[in-house]
Structure 1
Amino acid sequence: MSVVELKQTYIKVANINLYCEYLLNDKPPIFLIHGFASSTYTFRRIIPLLQEQFSIISVDLPGFGRSEKSTSFVYTFENYAKLLIECMDQFNISNTHIVAHSMGGQIALHMARIAPEKVNKLVLLCSSGYAKSSKKLLIYSSYLPLFERSISYFIRRKGVEKYLKGALFNQALINDEIINEFAKPLSEKAFYTSLIRLLRHREGDLLPKQLQEIRVPTLLIWGEEDSVVPIRVGHKLVKDLPNAQLITYEKTGHLITEERPEPIFKNIMTHVI
């Protein structure tokens, strides 16, 4: 299998600079959406498998990765969804399959709810779900002068390696490369500013009644040892989404694209082709 490097560039969408990796050909498009505190790096192990079958678009969400840490963007899932729909328009894509991980899954569900005609099929990997918005006391506290410094200290103290140990079942996958990649944003002051804006703006996840309105065929894929978004969320989602199925993998954690790239690719192919 020949691997073609995706084009790497910045595009301006809704006056925000988005870092984007893409490969456009005559194949059906597939849009990749990463999760919280992550980036296009999330999909590095499945992109080489997908590229012979699909045109690929993957972006860093505002506030994360190499994209702009905007101080004007309102960081709601609905706004993220609208932004990515506009991103599709810039690529002249009228409809697409979507593969989304963790928080990206909630954004993908919003896209399917806002513009179902633009979403062919959904593949949600360990998707977030049923979380409520931040408590008012925490939101009020975020305006205190030392709050940003406190958040930065708390996240840095925990450390990337400890986070990865909680997100991966296979600890052997933790190496310098993955540690360094996930550690990059922690050195940027603007990252914490965006994080606080997300804390303030993020609405609660879609309610069961809202999920039941989404008719887009959806494949849910979960690691049975996921301690970040437990598998019970997947079992609830498959009941609330009218046209969904759930596949689970033993001895697999939250970063499922790191642990099960080949099986996920096969699942995607079976679901969308």
Structure 2
Amino acid sequence: MPFVKVEDLSIHYEIEGNGEPLVLLHGMSNNSQSWKEQIQALKEHYTVIAWDAPGYGKSSDPAEEFRNFKEFARILNGMLDELKLEKIHLLGHSMGAAIAIEYCSLYPNRVNKLILADSTRGAVSYPRRERDEIEESIIFN
């Protein structure tokens, strides 16, 4: 099982295939295994990398709960550094799409193509007041 160390976290990822790197970001309450079928279909054309975001799947939990997508994007960037990937195609689903958007805003020169599927901020099930607070922290941090 492949892992990389990023800051104080152990990040698990799946990797298969040959070609340009395509990084897959899963949604909330999921992990890299949610991409199993897509990995099989895409590995003939890309080197497909599906991570377990911090706190998900086999990746370690952050010492303090992440409060915004910048934190996930920073760890993703560290993982790509560890894998020595300079330019990637990035595909995010649900919460993964929100992380992908944040990643592109912080590291635009590292992304060749961005694919978003069923984008969400990841707080749709929260009460309205909490969603508003989360939205403010995302927008203003």
Question: Which residue among 62, 66, 87 is the counterpart of 2:79?
Answer: 87
> Normalized against structure 2, the TM-score is what?
0.83
Structure 1 residue 111, shift from structure 2 partner: 0.7
Distance in 2 (alpha carbons) for counterparts of 1:96 and 1:53? 13
Aligned CA-pair RMSD: 2.8
Query: Structure 1 residues 204 and 31, CA, compared in 2 at 3 Å: closer, same or farther?
Result: farther
Distance in 2 (alpha carbons) for counterparts of 1:130 and 1:101? 11
Query: Structure 1 residues 203 and 18, CA, compared in 2 at 3 Å: closer, same or farther?
Result: farther
- In structure 1, the partner of 2:37 is 45
Higher relative contact order (CA 8 A, sep 6+): 2
Is 1:33 aligned to 2:19, yes or no?
no
Structure 1 residue 203, shift from structure 2 partner: 5.0
Identity percentage of aligned residues: 27
The one-letter amino acid of 1:124's match is L
Alignment size in residue pairs? 137
Structure richer in strand, relative to its length: 2
Runs of 4+ in 1 over 2 A off after TM superposition: 70-75, 129-132, 201-207
> Normalized against structure 1, the TM-score is what?
0.45
User: Aligned ranges for residues 124-273 of structure 1 at < 5 Å?
Assistant: 124-129=116-121, 203-204=135-136
Query: Structure 1 residues 71 and 77, CA, compared in 2 at 3 Å: closer, same or farther?
Result: same
- In structure 2, the partner of 1:63 is 55
Structure richer in helix, relative to its length: 1
Offset from partner CA, 1:169-217 (integer Å, 9 cap, x none)? xxxxxxxxxxxxxxxxxxxxxxxxxxxxxx9x9555866xxxxxxxxxx
Which runs of no fewer than 5 residues in structure 1 stay unpaired?
A: 1-7, 139-198, 208-273
Query: Structure 1 residues 75 and 65, CA, compared in 2 at 3 Å: closer, same or farther?
Result: farther
Query: Structure 1 residues 29 and 205, CA, compared in 2 at 3 Å: closer, same or farther?
Result: farther
Structure 1 residue 70, shift from structure 2 partner: 2.2
Question: Which residue among 11, 19, 30 is the counterpart of 1:18?
Answer: 11
For the pair shown, which has the larger CA radius of gyration, 1 or 2? 1
- In structure 1, the partner of 2:109 is 117
Query: Structure 1 residues 78 and 31, CA, compared in 2 at 3 Å: closer, same or farther?
Result: same
Offset from partner CA, 1:2-49 (integer Å, 9 cap, x none)? xxxxxx322111120111111364x11100000101000111111011
For the 8 Å contact 2:94–2:122, the answer to whether it is kept is no
Which runs of no fewer than 5 residues in structure 2 stay unpaired?
A: none
Distance in 1 (alpha carbons) for counterparts of 2:122 and 2:53? 21
Distance in 2 (alpha carbons) for counterparts of 1:202 and 1:22? 32
Query: Structure 1 residues 111 and 101, CA, compared in 2 at 3 Å: closer, same or farther?
Result: same
